[in-house]
């Protein structure tokens, strides 16, 4: 390696570090925009083909991207923003010691059964304070997080637009610029695509579906703070079989404790007959069998992602681990002899 090449590599590394420093405050939104563009791209490709027969090729591509972004805002971003707002509102209320749960009834029932005097209210408040501190850096960080999320969301929408337009060219550039042999590069790109699709469309979509179904059951049974608990179940549902049960199971017991026996029995029966069946049948049908990731690894990615980058870590964490798995698998198969 001559001096010119060494200097160029040093310059590339320095500029890469500076670029990371510049985008670091919004790196989760950059990654989230890439994920959203990944999900929308198959629709973009079909819609672009349909529009090309009616308008010019370039205008059809631009119109397709704008249409899909507006659709994503209405169908995904606005509902997610509302759910996030309700989640933050209820979480801060719990951390402040305010909850719609009949804590006194639960404490009285436990005291009658065990002879102990539990402090359920203080326990809930402590857990709420811990979550607020972990997710937002304390109460003062909630407003800063909201402002930063608004700016980051605007940036993400612009990035989604340009990723849909120029994404294929970027992937081609990666293939052409990769120092790996072309067949190894193609294998790595294909594995990364399959793994990402398996995580996003498989594990996460099934978890969100199960949480939504369970949330409807909680709402029908009259459980307070339904949106908050639905969000919690969306995370726990990534753990197969028993994930969402950690919420709807105690919720059914809570209803029985507060003398709403009929509602409690309904929720328990609904959980066994409907919520559990979503996990048992939807997961094998939806998840691409080529994406072999242990659910425990997915759960680790979810919690680690949320802790590291906030709400978007729900998606970012599992995908990062999935890409690592795809890279290791490619290395194992293509460089097995090393």
**Dist CA 163 CA 130 (whole Å):** 37
Average pLDDT over residues 14-40: 84
Task: Check if the beta carbon of residue 139 is closer than 8 Å to that of residue 92.
Answer: yes
pLDDT per residue over 76-105, tens digit each?
A: 778 777 877 887 888 788 777 777 777 777
Domain extents for the chain? 24-176, 178-337
The contacts of residue 68 (CB under 8 Å, 6+ apart) are 40, 43, 44, 47, 164
pTM over 0.75: no
| Mean pLDDT for the chain overall | 79
Q: How confident is the model at residue 169 (pLDDT cuts 50, 70, 90)?
A: confident
């Amino acid at each position: 390696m001559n001096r010119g090449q060494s200097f160029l590599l040093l310059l590339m590394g320095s500029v890469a570090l500076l670029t990371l420093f510049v985008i670091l405050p919004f790196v989760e939104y950059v990654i989230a925009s890439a994920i959203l563009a990944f999900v929308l791209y198959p629709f973009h490709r079909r819609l672009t083909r349909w529009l090309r027969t009616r308008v010019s090729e370039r205008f059809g591509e631009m119109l397709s991207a704008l249409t899909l972004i507006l659709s994503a805002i209405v169908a995904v971003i606005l509902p997610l923003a509302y759910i996030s707002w309700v989640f933050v509102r209820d979480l801060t209320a719990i951390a402040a010691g305010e909850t719609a749960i009949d804590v006194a009834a639960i404490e009285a029932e436990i005291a009658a059964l065990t002879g102990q005097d539990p402090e359920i209210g203080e326990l809930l408040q402590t857990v709420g304070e811990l979550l607020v501190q972990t997710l937002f850096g304390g109460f003062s960080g909630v407003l800063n997080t909201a402002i930063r999320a608004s700016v980051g969301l605007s940036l993400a929408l612009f990035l989604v637009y340009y990723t849909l337009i120029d994404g294929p060219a970027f992937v081609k550039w990666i293939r052409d610029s990769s120092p790996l042999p072309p067949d190894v590069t193609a294998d790595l790109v294909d594995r990364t695509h399959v793994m990402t699709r398996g995580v996003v469309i498989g594990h996460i979509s099934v978890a969100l579906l199960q949480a939504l179904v369970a949330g409807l059951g909680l709402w029908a049974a009259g459980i307070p703070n339904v949106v908050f608990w639905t969000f919690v179940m969306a995370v726990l549902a990534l753990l197969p079989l028993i994930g969402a049960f950690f919420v709807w199971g105690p919720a059914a017991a809570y209803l029985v404790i507060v003398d709403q026996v009929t509602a409690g029995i309904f929720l328990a029966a609904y959980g066994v007959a409907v919520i559990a069946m979503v996990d048992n049948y939807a997961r094998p049908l939806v998840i691409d069998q080529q994406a072999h990731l242990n659910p425990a690894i997915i759960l680790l990615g979810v919690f680690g992602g949320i802790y590291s980058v906030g709400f978007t870590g729900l998606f970012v964490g599992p995908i990062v681990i999935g890409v690592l798995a795809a890279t290791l698998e490619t290395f194992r198969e293509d460089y097995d002899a090393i």
